[in-house]
Structure 1
Amino acid sequence: MDFSANHVGFVIASYALTFLCLAGLIIATLGRDRKLRAQVERLDTQRRKPR
């Protein structure tokens, strides 16, 4: 990559924005997974309780 090009700021900003978006998606996915696992555990516990 040529850092002396006129558009280097745009390229760096584009990479930074892409990285932030991907990091946000990963964090959201992991958070949703954690929430759903807890919900499954709760439902499984309720299902196993004798009535």
Structure 2
Amino acid sequence: MDFSANHIGFVIASYALSFVCLAVLVLTTLGRDRKLRAEAERLDTQRKKARS
């Protein structure tokens, strides 16, 4: 990559924006997974109590 090119700022900004977008997607996915696992555990606990 030629760092003396006129458009290097655009290239760096594009990579930075891509990284930020991917990070947000990963964090959103992990947060959703955590929420769904907690809900599944809560429902499983309720189901076990209902059987008793």
Partner residue in 2 for 1:24 = 24
Structure 1: how far apart are the matches of 2:34 and 2:2? 42
Note the residue ranges of structure 1 that are not aligned, 5 or more in a row: none
Instruction: Using structure 2 for the length normalisation, give the TM-score.
Output: 0.95
* Count of aligned residue pairs for this structure pair: 50
Q: Identity over aligned residues, as a percent? A: 78
Measured in 1, the distance between the counterparts of 2:12 and 2:41 equals 43
Structure 1 length-normalised TM: 0.96
**Alignment RMSD, CA only?**
0.3
List structure 1 segments (4+ residues) > 3 angstroms apart after TM superposition.
none
